[in-house]
Amino acid sequence: MFIRELRQAGHVRRFTISESAGEGWEVREELEGQVVSRAHYRDWHRVERARMRIDEQVSDLEGRGWR
């Protein structure tokens, strides 16, 4: 549904939002393939807020050289 991947000096960060088998949505952040954070939401408005936080985090990382 949503995937954003950033790289810097061989490191990889990935942010994903995906549907969770009819039980809402899963929001995940991974670093080097390891899950750093994971949350499940049933309320779409919470997913929208999580997406805004991801956008802010991505913007900050891009400001620090991640692409």
pLDDT score of 22: 82
Mean pLDDT by 10 residues, the chain (67 residues): 96 97 94 97 97 98 98
Buried b (16+ CB within 10 A) or exposed e, 25-48: bbbbbbeeeeeeeeeebeeeeebe
Domain ranges, residue 24: 2-63
pLDDT score of 21: 85
Decide if 29 contacts 23 (C-beta within 8 A): no
pLDDT score of 31: 97
Give the chain's domain count. 1
Q: Cβ contacts of residue 30 below 8 Å, gap of 6+? A: 12, 13, 14, 15, 16, 36
Q: Please state the pTM of the whole predicted model.
A: 0.92
